[in-house]
Structure formats: structure tokens, C-alpha cells
Structure 1
């Protein structure tokens, strides 16, 4: 049932008056699993930064290239996607299982709407599942029965935190959070992250102010802060870069557009010794 119906039906535990990151993201992508409150935020974002839809798709493309690299080049066969959001096109499991149908994927999100919609999409797929959990509670995530059924943490695993960390304030210690997940991963595992980049550009400032006013997030960060998420890990070339610069499908034609400079991302490997 579409949430765009007149009465905007909401499942138990979901407040339709309170916008969520997952549903605003869905609205920006043109999806239907969102409420009027989410669409209102999406409209404000597009009014302030018209390129925000391009930015969302840019992040989506980065995620796809990362997953393809992890499976085809790094040999990873199990993936935990933190803060996965609502299902859309070219989902993590689709990209991974296109490269190798044996890949196992678990989606994690705190929004209670994500799990049922993801499971509907994953019906008949024994190698993928979704759970509702707060990514800040590392034990609850990693000990969840749906995760332990598919993911063997004694084997190399990919941890995706794409579009997630800028939602966490400094007092929530996102660097410590990443470290706790990394500690639980086997050597040879990979971590992928992205974050809005702190910048004096008017577009960056407008986006940051509006997101903080409407969603209470995000925390734009300097390049050195994002590089710090990979402390103790071995960066994958080209390191922490603007998303279009990370393993582009084609050579980047000339300078990046201003909106393409709003997000940084990278991938790193946990060493064996």
C-alpha cells in the first residue's frame, strides 16, 4: 500500500508527522514510501539546493561501485549495510549478487518501515535479510539472529556506512563506533564510509543549515576527520576522495560540479597483522 494515499496509513511504531532520514531519502529519489512530513523536507531541500537529488544519486552510484569492487576485486562474499534506508534501485544485494549469487547481505536500519519493505523485496532470497536496529548499539546489531544466520564474523566481511556517519553528532562518538565494529571484524574485512564535507561554499552551508533545522542532522566534517574513520586500516586507492572520483566507471571529464564536492568517501581494509 502506498503511503501517498489520502489517509497516509502508518505501521505501528511509526509517527507520520515526524520526518525520517530514510523516508526523506526515498522522497528525493521519487519513491512512494514516505509521508507528507518527509515530502515537505524533500521540497525544502530541493528549493535550497536544487542539485540535492543529483547528490543523492551520486551517493547511490558510489555505493554501487564500492559493492562491485568488494565482490569482484576484493573477494568479499558477505556484507553488512548499516543505515541502509528504504529499498530502491540497484540495492546492495542486487549489485553483490549480480557479481556472485552466493553473496550474503544484511541490511540494518533504525526506521521500522525499512525492515518490512526490504523483506518484501527479499522474499525468496535466502542470502539476504533486513533487521531493525540502532547502529549505535553494536552488540544488538552483530548478535541479531538474522545477522548471525547469514554473516560469519570470523570470515572477511564488508561493513558499509555510506550516508550514515554524518547523521551522528560528535557526542555520539562516530569514530569510536566505527572502531567498535572494526574490532568485531575478521582481518581482511573492509569498511566503506562517506560523509558530507565541511566547506565554506554557499551550497554546503545552505544544505547543512537546512538539514540541521529540519532533521536535527547532519554533521559536516573535514577531510582529516573522515580519514580518521580508517585509523589502523589500509586505505584502498585513491583514499578518501569526492565520491565521483572513487573508481569512476569512466574518466571524469574536467572539474567536479560544486554539488559533487559536497560528499567525501573511501574504502579501507583491516590488515592481517
Structure 2
């Protein structure tokens, strides 16, 4: 397995810290704030979109836990600005088991400092090398792949370039999990606001993770081999929302910028 990085660069904008800034967190540096403000100048709705994305994750985890899923593989977990997956899942099913995977050293430090308790693991891993993640001893000790696992990829796949073959990654993950498992994806839609996309992509090119937006058809293709559950592939505030989740989006759900959905493995 690839060696875990030891340090971080506070002078290069970092996607996890940028997202933390948009969510109102405190774990970011001037370079991250500057990059975020540049993006907000051309896409001011991004702050609300970041919050809508987190709300979607919370709803999806609760839905899965209520449906009896007790295992979660959170890939590209990010900084714990809000309640983390183990907290959300255990509100419904106290024995839920969760593995957090990220390649960012800052994220790993924060995740390992969480008082998550038994049944939780934090693993260094590169999503572009899914077999290395699946073969990790910490993953195999925490998750039982003979039973359903929820694979969480919220606001992650748009950082995987076409050259890294996202279809291959998702096929590997699908083949590793049992029938009844779930795939949760949210993804920046390349056709959401074409006027600002070029600027957003330009700013992210200077971060630790360049951006690869995709149109609706290409995002839908990521669910190949999974059965999309209702309401299908929709904008963030349209996926089984609570009333508070639609505030600010009632007339323009596309201003949430990200498409999202959940699939179940038949």
C-alpha cells in the first residue's frame, strides 16, 4: 500500500480545508480562504451548496440506517465540521460500524482525534487505488463485506479525472460489496451554471485536487450496476428533503450545483 504522507502545505489551497471554510468551520488557512472567496465571487451559491451537500449526506445516512444498513465506508471523508457519519448512523442504529478513508494528512489527523469509539476506523487511502483500500487490514477488521455496506462518495468523484477511470473505481467497489449494499454519490454538475464553471475549475486547478465537473448523463453513468432508488438522480435539495433543506432552493434547485442519488446493489 502507498505510504501515508507525513505533512501538509498551508500555502497551497486544500479542498478539505476550503470545504470546511464554506461550512463555517475553523480548520483553514489564508490560502484556503482566498481560494474560496475567489470561487464565491463567480459562484456565490457555493456556500449554500456546501451546506446542502452536507444535509444530503445526513439524510442519506439516516435513511440507510433506518433501512437496516449498519456498515458505512466513507471515502474522501473530509474535515469533521459537522456531525460525522458514525454519529449520524448511531442515532438510528447504535452498533453501526464506520470506516473513514482519506489521503489528506490534515483530515487524517482530525479524524483520528474524534472520540468515535469501538467499531470505527480511520484509514489512509487513495480512491484511485480502491483495491488498496479494500485490502487494508483496518478496513477488513471493521467491516464485514459479506453483509451490506453503504459506500459514501459525497462531493468526491468530481475530483477524480477521466484519466483515473471513475468507472473502474466504482466497478471495483461494487464487486467488493454484498447484495443490498448502497452507493451514495453527490457530484458537481458541469451543466449547472456554465458561465461560472470555467472560473471554478481554474481556481480548483491551483488546489490539492483539480476539479472534473460532469453533466447529468455522465453522473448517472457512475451508478451503472446499481438500482437507483427514488427520487433518482436529482439536485441536492430534491432528494427526500426535510422542509428546512429546501430553504433558498424552492425556485431553483439547480443552484445547489450538485446532483445526487443513492443506488442499491441488486
Going from structure 1 to structure 2, the CA distance change for 1:150 and 1:202 (only over 3 Å counts) comes to same
Corresponding residue number in structure 2 for 1:30: 24
Give me the whole-angstrom Cα distance separating, in 2, the residues matched to 1:107 and 1:85.
Answer: 9
- Residue among 264, 268, 272 paired with 2:259: 264
Give me the whole-angstrom Cα distance separating, in 2, the residues matched to 1:118 and 1:216.
Answer: 19
Give the ranges of 4+ consecutive aligned residues of structure 1 lying more than 6 Å apart after TM superposition.
none
Count of residue pairs brought into register by the alignment: 258
Per mean C-alpha deviation after superposition, the further-off stretch among 238-247 and 112-121 is 112-121
Give me the whole-angstrom Cα distance separating, in 2, the residues matched to 1:59 and 1:97.
Answer: 20
What displacement does 1:116 show?
2.0
- Please tell me whether residue 167 in structure 1 is matched to residue 162 in structure 2: no
What displacement does 1:30 show?
2.4
Give me the whole-angstrom Cα distance separating, in 2, the residues matched to 1:34 and 1:160.
Answer: 24
- Please tell me whether residue 133 in structure 1 is matched to residue 125 in structure 2: yes
SS in structure 2 of the partner of residue 221 of structure 1: coil
Give me the whole-angstrom Cα distance separating, in 1, the residues matched to 2:201 and 2:129.
Answer: 26
SS in structure 2 of the partner of residue 113 of structure 1: helix
Unaligned segments of structure 1, at least 5 residues: 1-10
What displacement does 1:213 show?
5.0
- Please tell me whether residue 83 in structure 1 is matched to residue 82 in structure 2: no
On the 8 A contact 2:14/2:209 being kept in 1, the answer is no
Corresponding residue number in structure 2 for 1:150: 142
TM-score normalised by L of structure 1: 0.88
Q: Which has the higher contact order (CA 8 A, sep 6+)?
A: 2
- Residue among 154, 169, 178 paired with 1:177: 169
What displacement does 1:47 show?
2.3
Corresponding residue number in structure 1 for 2:218: 225
Give me the whole-angstrom Cα distance separating, in 1, the residues matched to 2:6 and 2:205.
Answer: 27
TM-score normalised by L of structure 2: 0.90
Aligned alpha-carbon RMSD (Å):
1.9
Unaligned segments of structure 2, at least 5 residues: none
**CA displacement 1:198-241 (0-9 Å, x = unmatched):** 22542444433433355562111111111111112111111111
Corresponding residue number in structure 2 for 1:211: 204
On the 8 A contact 2:13/2:206 being kept in 1, the answer is no
Give me the whole-angstrom Cα distance separating, in 2, the residues matched to 1:44 and 1:252.
Answer: 26
On the 8 A contact 1:118/1:129 being kept in 2, the answer is no
